[in-house]
Structure 1
Amino acid sequence: MEILSRILRRITQFNHFSYHPKCVRIDLTHLIFADDLLVFARGYLPSVLAVQECLKLFSDYSGLTLNPTKTNIYFAGVRNEVKALIQASSGYMEGTFPFKYLGTPLHVSRLTRDMFQPLIAKIRSKLGYWAWIIHDIEKTCRQFLWGDGSHNRMIFFRLQKMQWSKAYLFQHQSGWDIDHTASPIWNHILTIRDDFIAKVGSLDAAQALFHEWHARGKLPLAKIYNIFHGISLTLKWMKPLLDGVVTPQHAFISTLAAHGALPTTDNICTRGLVLISRCVLCYNALETHQHLFFGCPFSNIVMQGLLHWQGITRRVLSLKHELYKLALYQCKTWRKRLGCCAVAAGIYGLWHERNRRIFVGTSRSAEQILRWIKYCVCLRMYAWNKGILNYELSNVLLG
């Protein structure tokens, strides 16, 4: 198929070939996926003959030929006498709209709701078939986690009964004190623990609730649900970005990032615009807000370096939880403001590096970006300390 694509891309070298009127500006001659091929040309005989020459050339190279019984030609705005001439010369039958390509109906005019009904019916039939399987899987998972009523197996609230985990993963540390483990599953559970602590306000409050529930011997599920879903983090995680020491440009980008409003791949896909599919910082995963800040190994290294620079030895959290942790930070004013400024500058620096790699084609190492962020933070803190209220860190050129 790659050979066929290359031949069709050279079709414009034929003097008698003309583009389809809607394909001239983008130099579009064909679309191909697996063994499905669409060729676009102006509706007159010389263009069709040029297409046939390309197909014959491909046949000579590969030994593959088109099946006339499975090949159709579609007209739009072509006179009947021209249609008859083209069909007689090509040997292809005229197809009717709508026709399907990759399972989606195509038409020369706007697709109506009725045209999508077969596709919707097929999706519904598949969902109906899988519904009982999904239900059984969820039921099995609930029974494993929550037990059958005689006892409770919720992993997070039964850490003291898992002796193997304590001996080999936790090294006899408390579940409240451990930072991370070698197990991805337990690291996810520890993230839930951090989320729980953040939502109730402090470690002491979280431990008090845990001991209260443990003494009762029963988990108050409704209360736990309200804790995780009934308290909004919005106002609290916004506080670090509203601090006057944070560079306005950094605060703006960080706010968009926390709201998931930056034009990352997951956002531009919904608008029909896809420039990239994978993260240009690590090239190992699809680019989303959650990955970019700070699930990406590259961005994680940068943020881990910023934390160590501030004397913080914990692991890097998600973007919102980093901001939320700053909002609850009990320390001297200058240290908290340093943290606010550093996180915002880190988010801005990573976003700038991402755009630089896509649109400029240059890149920097994590160490170079970290040095630039530290320079920006120190410069901003110096300006704040000297009372230079109108100082704009955005004037610092990105190296």
Structure 2
Amino acid sequence: MRGDVPSIVAVATFLYEYAKVSGLYANPYKTSVYYGGVSQEVKYQIGALTGYSEDQFPFRYLGITMNPGRLARGMFQAMVDKVQASIQHLTGNLLSYVGKLQLINSVLFGLENYWCSTLLLPKVVAKLVNKLCKNYFWGTPSGQRKTTFQSWGSIFALWQEGGFN
């Protein structure tokens, strides 16, 4: 919204009307206002109208770093760390290739999709996550490849038969 008092009054009115209908009220102790290019006087007026405190960027919401500026690789380190932790946890399991593939599709890419639903991932982060998943699938998390002996018939077999389709 615009950083002026009439805009804040309109939003506060909407939130009040919504709260009357739904019974869901914004908790002023958990709610913050983030400003950009607003004078101190307007900040004071908005704070007095809403009762919300001022906070600064970047902040974390549901484990995701929120920032109004350009998204850097370092902001996604938490996601990369979660993927690595998941892989470290999963390495003890002796799974077939199909089991590993299913695990990657459901768990690891599910985590990436959760982040992508909120933010646009930089290419370098997406490539890093794909590399981690590829290393888990074909070898070890440390990046060492292990020799695989598979017949072409088992690789090109149907999914239902344990192949890669």
Structure-1-length-normalised TM-score: 0.24
1:45 aligns with 2:45: no
Match of 1:55 in 2: 15
Q: Name the CA distance, whole Å, in 2 between partners of 1:85 and 1:74.
A: 14
Aligned partner letter, 1:65: Y
**1:82 corresponds to which of 22, 42, 54:** 42
Asked which structure has the greater RCO (Cα within 8 Å, sep 6+), the reply is 2
> Deviation at 1:101?
4.1
Q: 1:111-130, aligned counterparts within 5 Å?
A: 111-130=71-90
TM-score normalised to structure 2 length: 0.54
After superposition, the C-alpha distances for 1:179-228 in whole angstroms (9 at most, x for unaligned) are: xxxxxxxxxxxxxxxxxxxxxxxxxxxxxxxxxxxxxxxxxx67x439x7
The corresponding residue for 2:95 is 137
Structure 1: distance between partners of 2:95 and 2:68: 44
Distance, in Å, in 1 between the alignment partners of 2:32 and 2:82 is 25
Note if contact 1:68-1:91 (Cα within 8 Å) is conserved in structure 2: yes
- What is the percent sequence identity of the aligned residues? 36
Amino acid aligned to 1:109: G
Unaligned residue ranges in structure 2 (runs of 5+): 100-148, 157-165
Give the counterpart letter for 1:90 in structure 2. T
* Alpha-carbon separation, structure 2, partners of 1:77 and 1:131: 49
RMSD value over aligned CA atoms? 2.8
Task: Give the distance between the partners of 1:103 and 1:73, measured in 2 at CA.
Answer: 19
Structure 1 outlier segments of 4+, above 4 Å:
none
- Which residue pairs with 2:152 in the alignment? 225
Please give the residue correspondences for 1:27-46 in structure 2 after superposition, counting only pairs within 5 Å: 41-46=1-6
Alignment match of 1:67 (pick from 8, 27, 37): 27
Query: 1:131 and 1:96 mapped to 2: Cα distance?
Result: 39
Which structure has the larger Rg over C-alpha atoms?
1
Alignment partner of 2:29: what SS? helix
Q: Which amino acid aligns with 2:83?
A: I
Separation of aligned partners in 2, 1:73 and 1:53? 16
Q: Which amino acid aligns with 1:225?
A: W
How many equivalent residue pairs?
A: 106
* Alpha-carbon offset, residue 82 of structure 1: 1.2
Q: Is the 8 A contact 1:72 1:92 kept in 2?
A: yes
Q: CA deviation at 1:44?
A: 1.0
Amino acid at match of 1:71: T
